[in-house]
Amino acid sequence: MITKLFGTVLDTMCWGKMPSICSKLLTGQINRHDFYQTATSVIASFFLKKIDKEAAKVVFQEQQIILDLPTTDSPVPKRYKTEVPLFGTIDVAQSSFKILGTKLEVNLVKADGSSWPVLRSDDRLTGEILQIGRAGRAQ
């Protein structure tokens, strides 16, 4: 069964029961994310509570990551699915993720070591560059 809400398609799962007692798995987007970087990696946090660690899927590709994050909310679990286009290229084999209580943390290993002004390639450039680590000394 597929329904519409707020203009997006919602997945519905019935868990093998009668349709009248189906459990809807609502699909949405993650509204808040943040990132910081070092010379070799970008660490991004996607803030979402109650992510189901067993069912969560994170797929790394050179220019994007694909997130499929069901939650353990009850009585109606939610599923957050999105594709995140990345500003730069990453080393897919060395990138990793971990699920914490309030967020998904993704460690993206940079393929070329260049600085990323934004996480997403579709984000507007702000002109701000934050440096992590030691700055040079003024003499």
Range of the domain at 40: 29-109
pLDDT (tens digit per residue) in 42-98 = 999 999 999 999 999 999 999 999 999 999 988 888 889 999 999 999 999 999 999
33 in a structural domain: yes
Percent pLDDT > 90 in the chain is 55
Q: Would you place residue 40 in the very low, low, confident or very high pLDDT band (cuts 50, 70, 90)?
A: very high
- CA dist 128 and 117 (Å) reads 7
**For the chain, the helix, strand and coil percentages under 3-state DSSP, each to the nearest 5:** 0, 45, 55
For tokens 């996480």, name the residue: 119
The pTM assigned to this predicted structure is 0.70
19 in a structural domain: no
Q: Are 79 and 69 in contact (CB under 8 A)?
A: yes
Q: What is the CATH number of the domain that holds 79?
A: 2.60.40.790
62 in a structural domain: yes
11 in a structural domain: no
51 in a structural domain: yes
State how beta strands 23-28 and 78-85 pair. parallel
119 in a structural domain: no
Report the domain count for the chain. Answer: 1
5 in a structural domain: no
41 in a structural domain: yes
What is the pLDDT averaged over residues 116-136? 73
Lowest-pLDDT range, 4-8, 95-99, 134-138? 4-8
DSSP letters spanning 37-65: E-SSEEEEEEE-SSB-TTT-EEEE-SSEE
